[in-house]
A and B are shown apart, each in its own frame.
Chain A
Amino acid sequence: MAASLRCFLRSGKRAVLVAVRRGFHSSSPAAVQVTVRDALNQAMDEELERDERVFLLGEEVAQYDGAYKVSRGLWKKYGDKRIIDTPISEMGFAGIAVGAAMAGLRPICEFMTFNFSMQAIDQVINSAAKTYYMSAGLQSVPIVFRGPNGASAGVAAQHSQCFAAWYAHCPGLKVVSPWNSEDAKGLLKAAIRDDNPVVFLENELMYGVPFEVSDESQSKDFTIPIGKAKVERQGSHITLVSHSRFVGHCLDAAAVLAKEGVDCEVINLRTIRPMDVECIEGSVMKTNHLVTVEGGWPQFGVGAEICARIMEGPAFNFLDAPVTRVTGVDIPMPYAKILEENSLPQVKDIIFSVKKTLNV
């Protein structure tokens, strides 16, 4: 079998290469590098091809190739019927998408950013999420709401909110938050194939980041199960749990800490709801320490939920210290670069929190 080479490129700023070569030497194919943007594009392309009920609608998704170019080339390939440009009417087009799903199609509804989903949140929650339950199983809603979530760079308060906690609060929704390209592709395909409403939280800063992807991810039937976290890095001293962009920050922190003899286990949640608590618990029962890392605000957030779940489960008795949450600062996002940088978890914040939790 071909040698496997694992390469992490994080944050677009510093490349840390960790090469692990296994197996016997043979001429191997060049490692396939795919950006998150292209992975999402591939996922949608493949699912559009596979199932004619799938279609994409949203602002600028068609002729503009997507506000962030995620849907580049799709309109040219599939045309007006399947790739639909909407007017700026989030509540209207989200409702239309939900209605289309109720009538048997499989829409992908793009919000240019999830900040604008607030205009339409009633349709996501009351029309999409709750309907299967209210109808006692008569009416399903196979829809994906996707778009960039959380902070970008310099877009200020109204365009930088993380909605993971808001959507993950609600029964009837699945909430997915991929980190790398493989996540993006496998999870988006799974979301589109899922017969339930899925909120798919992307990250604008990750779109351009290339990752090496596995051979199997190149298959048109490659999916990643929703609801299963992934251990990105094995470790024994402390568990770091994160989602989306900050998984990369955790891995960066782990690399620095490794040099100081602190061995971190890094878990990529991949799905916020249903959360893979068992994966976290298993890890905590091994490491006895837990730090959660997220971009969203602390109150009632993803980290808060993890803390509560750990307390309620078997892992609590294995904790040697309270769980630490590393989160965005509890303020609306400021504009100035220095303020913005200090509003979000930095690698040094994670390192600091790990050391405090370990009391080293």
Chain B
Amino acid sequence: EGKMLTNISNVLRACAQRNISHLFVFYFKKCDVFKLDEAPATQVVMTRDEGLQYYRTMQTMRRMELKADQLYKQKIIRGFCHLYDGQEACAVGIEASINLKDHLITAYRAHGYTLTRGGTVKEIMAELTGRRGGIAKGKGGSMHMYCKHFYGGNGIVGAQVPLGAGVALACKYKGTDELCVCLYGDGAANQGQIFETYNMAALWKLPVIFICENNRYGMGTSVERAAASTDYFKRGEFIPGLRVDGMDILCVREATRFAADHCRSGKGPILMELQTYRYHGHSMSDPGVSYRTREEIQEVRSKSDPISLLKDRLLSNNMASVEELKEIDVEVRKEIEDAAQFATTDPEPPLEELCNHIFSNNPPVEVRGTNPWAKLKSLS
């Protein structure tokens, strides 16, 4: 304890010497609300430590996705690869206001969430390259990554939404104060099963935060061409909603905090729309410029990049130094390089494991191979 106090006073002294702010208060305009009397806080405190942690995580996420882009172009990653760069503030902001005992489920643009939910860059990248060290041992790939209280990674658009409400049902059933964050995109928002889920979640007051990550395009279809109403935060009709700047991590964090309080106080579901943007196309096979202009992409990058926004805040309010942030960048770069190195050298899963994991807690079964003489073994 004495040691801890010494450390704290050392840090404070160092801060005072460098004239560093330990925390700062930020002001935001009130976000759009729907069927809510209150709204998320407009006066927000961010500490230096929080800022640095958000910066590190978002930068890690950004570099990880860009590395995945590289590896995909080298054909080391194959199949589907939906990248999250541009949307980092969403994943990091959400996680900042929930905890790892809570639950989260999303669709296929999931690498960022796999990271915030406890996956390592190494095991995420190795899953993308289909190696045995991958988070799903190479058997899931980009869209099917799982870890504790993180239910993927789901490939069927919209299917994750009822699943998320089901997880919330389990939370309520067990009598915990856990909640489930259930994400979907602007494209998925038009799926019928989502409306079925809204109905049941509201009826049964399930502790679920529905979050629509509106990045303006469902694959190649802009929101105006897909939705009769693009007010996604209102589409829950009888579910209260809020619309939030998804490029600003503090906005996302405060909105999530507000939403989590709502759920945990037994009021039932709530819906958050995060207005965000993806720099890449829908997936690696989409250049992303046939349905939107390069100017638009460039404008978002220069004016609204979530990492730049945070960096500016930290620097201009003396919360961190340029050197500190550069040091984080270097560390992040190294972590990504090491992970990529692992992901490209780790061997593929052994053929003997082809048929494993069909059934849980089951005696071994025989699985028919490609021909009648190929009798393969499946272990749980």
Most buried by B among A92, A97, A99, A105: A99
Partner among A99, A132, A195, A313 whose Cβ is within 8 Å of the Cβ of B166: A99
B234, chain A: closest CB distance, angstroms = 20
How far, in whole Å, are A89 and B165 apart by their CA atoms in the complex? Answer: 13
Is residue B14 contacting chain A, with contact meaning CB distance below 8 A? no
Question: In the complex, what residues of A have CB within 8 A of residue B152's CB?
Answer: 131, 134-135, 139
Is residue A302 contacting chain B, with contact meaning CB distance below 8 A? no
* A126-150 residues at the B interface, CB under 8 angstroms: 126-127, 131-140, 142
Is residue A86 contacting chain B, with contact meaning CB distance below 8 A? yes
B358–A126 contact, CB under 8 A?
no
B185, chain A: closest CB distance, angstroms = 17
Is residue B238 contacting chain A, with contact meaning CB distance below 8 A? no
B139–A99 contact, CB under 8 A?
no
Q: What residue in chain A is nearest B161 (Cβ atoms)?
A: A95
A64, chain B: closest CB distance, angstroms = 17
A72, chain B: closest CB distance, angstroms = 23
How far, in whole Å, are A337 and B200 apart by their CA atoms in the complex? Answer: 39
A140–B360 contact, CB under 8 A?
yes
How far, in whole Å, are A55 and B152 apart by their CA atoms in the complex? Answer: 24
A320, chain B: closest CB distance, angstroms = 22
How far, in whole Å, are A140 and B367 apart by their CA atoms in the complex? Answer: 19
Question: In the complex, what residues of B have CB within 8 A of residue A94's CB?
Answer: 162
Q: What residue in chain B is nearest A133 (Cβ atoms)?
A: B357
Query: Do A137 and B193 form a contact, CB below 8 Å, given A95-B166, A96-B200, A103-B103?
Result: no
Question: In the complex, what residues of A have CB within 8 A of residue B8's CB?
Answer: none
Partner among A55, A92, A102 whose Cβ is within 8 Å of the Cβ of B151: A102
B239, chain A: closest CB distance, angstroms = 14
Q: What residue in chain A is nearest B151 (Cβ atoms)?
A: A102
B192–A91 contact, CB under 8 A?
yes
Most buried by B among A89, A101, A139, A140: A139
Is residue A322 contacting chain B, with contact meaning CB distance below 8 A? no
Partner among A139, A195, A312 whose Cβ is within 8 Å of the Cβ of B146: A139
Query: Do A93 and B162 form a contact, CB below 8 Å, given A133-B357, A134-B136?
Result: yes
Question: In the complex, what residues of B have CB within 8 A of residue A81's CB?
Answer: 173
A92–B173 contact, CB under 8 A?
no
Is residue A171 contacting chain B, with contact meaning CB distance below 8 A? yes
Question: In the complex, what residues of B have CB within 8 A of residue A131's CB?
Answer: 152
Question: In the complex, what residues of B have CB within 8 A of residue A171's CB?
Answer: 358, 367
A93–B196 contact, CB under 8 A?
yes
Is residue B147 contacting chain A, with contact meaning CB distance below 8 A? yes
Question: In the complex, what residues of A have CB within 8 A of residue B380's CB?
Answer: 137
Q: What residue in chain A is nearest B362 (Cβ atoms)?
A: A196
How far, in whole Å, are A133 and B140 apart by their CA atoms in the complex? Answer: 8
How far, in whole Å, are A89 and B197 apart by their CA atoms in the complex? Answer: 8
A100–B358 contact, CB under 8 A?
no
B147–A138 contact, CB under 8 A?
yes
B154–A127 contact, CB under 8 A?
yes
Is residue A282 contacting chain B, with contact meaning CB distance below 8 A? no
B199–A89 contact, CB under 8 A?
yes
Question: In the complex, what residues of A have CB within 8 A of residue B154's CB?
Answer: 127
Count A interface residues, CB 8 Å.
44
A99, chain B: closest CB distance, angstroms = 2
Is residue A29 contacting chain B, with contact meaning CB distance below 8 A? no
* A259-281 residues at the B interface, CB under 8 angstroms: 274
Is residue B91 contacting chain A, with contact meaning CB distance below 8 A? no
How far, in whole Å, are A91 and B161 apart by their CA atoms in the complex? Answer: 11
B162–A99 contact, CB under 8 A?
yes
Interface string of B127-160 (1 = CB under 8 A from A): 0000000001111100010110001101110010
A6, chain B: closest CB distance, angstroms = 31
Question: In the complex, what residues of B have CB within 8 A of residue A195's CB?
Answer: 359-362
Partner among B140, B163, B204 whose Cβ is within 8 Å of the Cβ of A136: B140
Is residue B356 contacting chain A, with contact meaning CB distance below 8 A? yes
Question: In the complex, what residues of B have CB within 8 A of residue A84's CB?
Answer: 204
Question: In the complex, what residues of B have CB within 8 A of residue A98's CB?
Answer: 162-163, 166
How far, in whole Å, are A126 and B143 apart by their CA atoms in the complex? Answer: 12
* B157-206 residues at the A interface, CB under 8 angstroms: 159, 161-171, 173-174, 180, 192-193, 196-197, 199-200, 203-204
How far, in whole Å, are A101 and B197 apart by their CA atoms in the complex? Answer: 16
Is residue B328 contacting chain A, with contact meaning CB distance below 8 A? no
How far, in whole Å, are A135 and B155 apart by their CA atoms in the complex? Answer: 13
Q: What residue in chain B is nearest A87 (Cβ atoms)?
A: B199
How far, in whole Å, are A225 and B173 apart by their CA atoms in the complex? Answer: 30
A246, chain B: closest CB distance, angstroms = 26
Is residue A330 contacting chain B, with contact meaning CB distance below 8 A? no
Q: What residue in chain A is nearest B373 (Cβ atoms)?
A: A312
Question: In the complex, what residues of A have CB within 8 A of residue B168's CB?
Answer: 99
A132–B357 contact, CB under 8 A?
yes
Is residue A296 contacting chain B, with contact meaning CB distance below 8 A? no
Most buried by B among A84, A103, A104, A196: A103
Partner among B103, B136, B166 whose Cβ is within 8 Å of the Cβ of A97: B166
Query: Do A138 and B146 form a contact, CB below 8 Å, given A93-B162, A102-B166, A104-B170?
Result: yes
Question: In the complex, what residues of B have CB within 8 A of residue A140's CB?
Answer: 360-361
B200–A139 contact, CB under 8 A?
no
Question: In the complex, what residues of A have CB within 8 A of residue B180's CB?
Answer: 103
Is residue A122 contacting chain B, with contact meaning CB distance below 8 A? yes
Most buried by B among A102, A126, A140, A172: A102
Partner among A99, A104, A132, A136 whose Cβ is within 8 Å of the Cβ of B165: A99
B159–A126 contact, CB under 8 A?
yes
Q: What residue in chain A is nearest B136 (Cβ atoms)?
A: A136
Question: In the complex, what residues of B have CB within 8 A of residue A136's CB?
Answer: 136-140, 356-357
How far, in whole Å, are A123 and B196 apart by their CA atoms in the complex? Answer: 14
Is residue B365 contacting chain A, with contact meaning CB distance below 8 A? yes
Is residue B372 contacting chain A, with contact meaning CB distance below 8 A? yes
Question: In the complex, what residues of B have CB within 8 A of residue A142's CB?
Answer: 360
B151–A99 contact, CB under 8 A?
yes
How far, in whole Å, are A92 and B196 apart by their CA atoms in the complex? Answer: 5
A68, chain B: closest CB distance, angstroms = 23
A92–B159 contact, CB under 8 A?
no
A51, chain B: closest CB distance, angstroms = 13
Query: Do A134 and B170 form a contact, CB below 8 Å, given A92-B199, A95-B193, A99-B165?
Result: no
Given contacts A99-B162, A100-B166, A139-B146, 10 further A-B contacts (CB under 8 A): A55-B173, A89-B193, A99-B169, A100-B169, A103-B170, A105-B173, A126-B156, A131-B152, A135-B140, A139-B151
Q: Could you list 10 examples of A-B contacts with CB < 8 Å?
A: A84-B204, A86-B200, A89-B196, A98-B166, A102-B163, A103-B103, A105-B169, A136-B138, A137-B357, A142-B360
Query: Shortest 3 CB-CB distances between A and B: which pairs?
Result: A99-B166, A95-B162, A92-B196
